[in-house]
Amino acid sequence: MPFETMAPDVDETRQAGETATELVQRLSEAKARAGGDTANALVIGSDQVAVLGEDILGKPGAHEPACRQLERLSGQVVTFMTGLCLYNSVSGDIQLDMVPFRVHFHDLKEEQIDRYLRREQPYDCAGSFRSEGLGITLFRRMEGDDPTALIGLPLIRLSGMLHAAGVTVP
């Protein structure tokens, strides 16, 4: 299916009192609507956060914060919450959801963390790793209904949304 990609300018700042689910759903919808401003199409918006306990983990931005983040995740279970929005810019219809996916981390050693970060430099990723690369070696187990949610676009749920919007896939 033909498609275009864009990076809409959306302020991703968490609002006071906003839960992780509310945050990713709001940002997914804002991104889809921003993309719909320039197209007569179905527009997909997505956003993801990593959550450890009650804490939303940000993108580390650099090596040292990424080291600290992965040290904190060592031996823990992290939930990745991926917001998904399908916006029909012609009718104004919105389908909105959040797809969770849990990652169980190995007990990580300092040398392993440093070696991984220097190799992949996932400083723009929540959780300080890329599961589609060597980051997968940091995990003991993964669980969830849609493994594609972990990389930021839950394709199983998106397929259902597209079907509900009248798109035949495949």
Question: 113-145, pLDDT tens digit by residue?
Answer: 999 999 999 999 888 988 888 999 999 999 999
Question: 88-116, pLDDT tens digit by residue?
Answer: 988 999 999 999 999 999 999 999 999 99
| Helix (H/G/I), strand (E/B), else coil: 123 | coil
| Helix (H/G/I), strand (E/B), else coil: 161 | helix
% pLDDT > 70, the chain:
98
What is the average per-residue pLDDT within 35-64?
88
Beta bridge partners of 103: 78, 142
pLDDT of 38 above 70: no
Q: Is 107 a catalytic residue?
A: no
Higher-pLDDT residue of 125, 86: 86
pLDDT value, residue 40: 80
Domains of the chain: 20-164 (3.90.950.10)
Residue of 11, 37, 47, 146 with catalytic role: 47
User: How far is Cα 142 from Cα 102, in angstroms, rounded to an integer?
Assistant: 6
The pTM of this model reads 0.86
Alpha carbon of 45 to those of 12, 35, 86, 142, 152: distances in Å?
Answer: 13, 8, 7, 24, 10
Beta bridge partners of 47: 83
What is the average per-residue pLDDT within 10-29?
92
